[in-house]
C-alpha cells in the first residue's frame, strides 16, 4: 500500500466474509492498531483470517477484506446528523401493507457523538433469524451458490418477539428499521459498543453512499 501523506486507510471484512462468520483483521508494519494505517503509510499489509463457525476453503485471489480511505475527520457530530435527518429521514418502518413511513426525528435515537441507534427486528418475522449449524461440511468460499442454506443454517423463532441466544453461536438477524443512506454520505456500524454490551454485532458494518436509497428519499 502506498498512500499520499493526507490519506489514511481503515479495513473491515466484506459482507460476504462476515456472513460466513470469517473474522479478518489487517495489520501494517510499525503501527500499534489493527484494521487501520497511519496517514501516508507505505508498506506491506498482513491479514489475520479466523473461520469461527464453519471449515472454509479459500483460494488465492478470494476477496475477504475491504479498504476505505479517508482524509481528516469525515464523521458527523450529533447536531450535524440531526440536521441531516431532518432533511432526509434515515430510518423507515415497513407497514403491514408493505408501504414504508419514516421514523420521526423525535423518535430517532441520535447520540452526541453522531451515532444513530438501530434495533433488532424479531417480532412478526418467520423465521426471525438464523443460527449457524453446529456440525457442517466444508464451505467453498469462492463458489457462489454451491451450498444449500439448510446444510449450514438453522432457523431461529422468536416467540412474542423474544429469543434466547446461545453463547459462542453465530446469528444473523435483520434490523427492525430500514436504513436509507443519502447519496452524498456513507455510514459505518460500530462492531462493539461497550455501553450496550460486550457482544460484537457485525463484521462488515459499512454502508455505501446511496444504500437503500430511492428517488424521493423514501425507504
Whether omega before 127 lies within 30 degrees of 0, making that bond cis, reads: yes
Q: Do residues 94 and 147 make contact, with C-beta atoms less than 8 angstroms apart?
A: no
**What pLDDT digit, counting tens, does each position of 148-205 carry?**
999 999 999 998 889 999 988 999 999 999 999 999 999 998 888 777 777 788 888 8
**What pLDDT digit, counting tens, does each position of 189-204 carry?**
888 877 777 778 888 8
| Listed residue (131, 219, 116) closest to 173, CA to CA | 131
Give this prediction's pTM.
0.85
Task: State the burial class of residue 216 (Cβ atoms within 10 Å of its Cβ: 0-12, 13-18, 19+).
Answer: exposed
> What are residue 12's DSSP bridge partners?
66
**CA distance linking residue 117 with residue 139, whole number of Å:** 33
Amino acid at each position: 500500500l502506498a498512500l499520499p501523506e493526507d490519506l489514511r486507510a481503515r479495513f473491515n471484512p466484506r459482507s460476504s466474509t462476515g456472513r460466513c462468520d470469517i473474522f479478518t483483521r489487517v495489520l501494517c508494519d510499525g503501527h500499534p492498531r489493527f484494521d487501520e494505517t497511519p496517514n501516508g503509510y507505505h508498506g506491506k499489509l498482513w491479514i489475520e483470517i479466523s473461520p469461527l463457525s464453519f471449515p472454509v476453503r479459500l483460494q488465492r485471489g478470494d476477496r475477504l477484506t475491504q479498504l476505505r480511505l479517508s482524509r481528516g475527520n469525515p464523521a458527523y457530530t450529533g447536531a450535524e446528523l440531526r440536521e441531516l435527518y431532518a432533511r432526509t429521514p434515515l430510518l423507515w418502518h415497513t407497514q403491514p401493507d408493505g408501504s414504508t413511513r419514516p421514523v420521526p426525528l423525535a423518535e430517532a435515537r441520535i447520540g452526541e457523538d453522531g451515532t444513530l441507534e438501530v434495533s433488532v427486528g424479531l417480532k412478526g418475522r418467520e423465521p426471525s433469524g438464523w443460527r449457524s449449524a453446529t456440525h457442517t461440511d466444508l464451505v467453498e468460499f469462492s463458489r457462489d451458490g454451491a451450498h444449500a442454506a439448510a446444510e449450514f443454517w438453522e432457523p431461529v423463532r422468536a416467540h412474542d418477539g423474544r429469543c434466547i441466544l446461545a453463547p459462542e453461536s453465530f446469528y444473523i438477524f435483520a434490523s427492525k428499521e430500514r436504513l436509507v443512506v443519502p447519496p452524498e454520505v456513507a455510514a459505518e456500524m460500530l462492531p462493539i459498543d461497550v455501553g450496550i454490551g460486550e457482544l460484537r454485532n457485525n463484521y462488515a458494518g459499512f454502508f455505501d453512499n446511496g444504500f437503500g436509497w430511492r428517488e424521493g428519499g423514501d425507504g
